[in-house]
Amino acid sequence: MARLLKAVTVCALAGIAHAFNYDQPYRGQYHFSPQKNWMNDPNGLLYHNGTYHLFFQYNPGGIEWGNISWGHATSEDLTHWEEQPVALLARGYGSDVTEMYFSGSAVADVNNTSGFGKDGKTPLVAMYTSYYPVAQTLPSGQTVQEDQQSQSIAYSLDDGLTWTTYDAANPVIPNPPQPYQAQYQNFRDPFVFWHDESHKWVVVTNWKLVSEFGPYNAQGGVWECPGLFKLPLDGGSSTKWVITSGLNPGGPPGTVGSGTQYFVGEFDGTTFTPDADTVYPGNSTANWMDWGPDFYAAAGYNGLSIKDHVHIGWMNNWQYGANIPTYPWRSAMAIPRHLALKTINNKTTLVQQPQEAWSSISSKHPLYSRTYSTFSEGSTNASTTGETFRVDLSFSATSKASTFAIALRASANFTEQTLAGYDFAKQQIFLDRTKSGDVSFDNTFASVYHGPLVPDSTGMVRLSIFVDRSSVEVFGGQGETTLTAQIFPSNDAVHARLVSTGGATEDVRVDVHNITSTWN
């Protein structure tokens, strides 16, 4: 980075009020959402000095996409979030916007390689996509075209509260490399991290093009929101690298809209080489990070050890995201997920576990607990669950039933319900939201979604299901299969029941734990 000549400090002028009521219908009680207005991709995720920083795509002026800025929230435990002033406010906001701040990433430059640090203060450096809605000459003297996307830099010297854009040289990567220069309208979402082995910063959407990857597997839409990180394998000292990539459209089978896939392989500081079994012949399938419709643009935290790696996804879908029936905000983040690699069925597999301070918000003792050596064909009502809870459900894969499920967020007569369960013949988790409540805002919303799950080594199927006011997240097995979907049920849809179809289900255990609000 060149020496700073001129910069503009960008921040919101007013703080976020603390006494805000987060009790609106459909407001997630243990999922982050902004107090008001539009939100999409998480970006710039950084753990620094004991604080988790969550930046996100944000419209400070309305509930629909526009005026894209970087919103900001902080947490000490990935559970209780405090919304902060806008970090990067769209340039010209309030009149004619000349630059929006699209997705990117952030790092703590502890060695001050950027030269932005002053008086011993560690600079936080963000690399993001500048979107220019109009052709113009920039403060750096560079010219950009209408709708051009380029990569720029900003930095903070007060632990992320305020940011200074690097106007002397922005954009630092103005154009896509050859032979892709014609794609300047879709050149975005840089992910930057420090590569210890080569002692250099690496950017996915590269500063200096040194290698390319893909396309492989799912190719139905634009690849965006990339990530590249190292994870331990089987809890030991050996490691592998993982690339994640958003895809819009062209998500998992049965979904319409966006999704996130991943690849496992090796990275030498220059080139990512995928493992042979992570790429499928003829791009016939993909390694989906989540098999549901509402997990996209997943981003990982810089600043954590590889054993503590955490990702957060946008819990929405571009197919209908602008029309979901929430107000005065639109969109929430999925539960933060701890990521690791495990060998499952002789394949290196990404496993995900929900990571929040559960002991502070989840009941120690279940509000409902039952075991059945044999659960006969039919249904049995469980107790009322409230709106926010966790279900731990296990059963034998050798059961004679065709499917076994739990109906969640159901009305008293079960004409309204969401079904989360397992198809024994297909060895698939499923989530059925066809009767989940309000499905009127999009003709693709009332659908059933599936994800593969092989029984564990003991012949059992194990599901952990997290339910909030407007979402269901299913974690199957060791976390090798997840399925996330939004729902918009009635306020009084607080009933549940177990359902076995096509025969009996063996060795059933179900525990339901209450989860309290993190906003209190």
Q: Which residues are identified as catalytic? A: 41
Rg of the chain in Å (alpha carbons): 23
422: helix, strand or coil: strand
37: left (phi over 0), alpha (psi -120 to 50) or beta: left
Give, in order, the Cα–Cα distances in Å from 118 to each of 5, 7, 307.
15, 15, 32
Report how far residue 81's alpha carbon sits from residue 75's, in angstroms, rounded to the nearest whole number.
5
Report how far residue 99's alpha carbon sits from residue 107's, in angstroms, rounded to the nearest whole number.
22
CB-CB neighbours of 212 under 10 Å: 11
321: helix, strand or coil: helix
**What tokens were used for 228?**
């590249």
DSSP state at residue 306: G
- Burial class of 356 by CB neighbour count within 10 A (0 to 12, 13 to 18, 19+): buried
DSSP state at residue 49: T
The residue among 497, 471, 490, 493 whose CA lies nearest residue 482 is 471
At 72, the amino acid letter reads: H
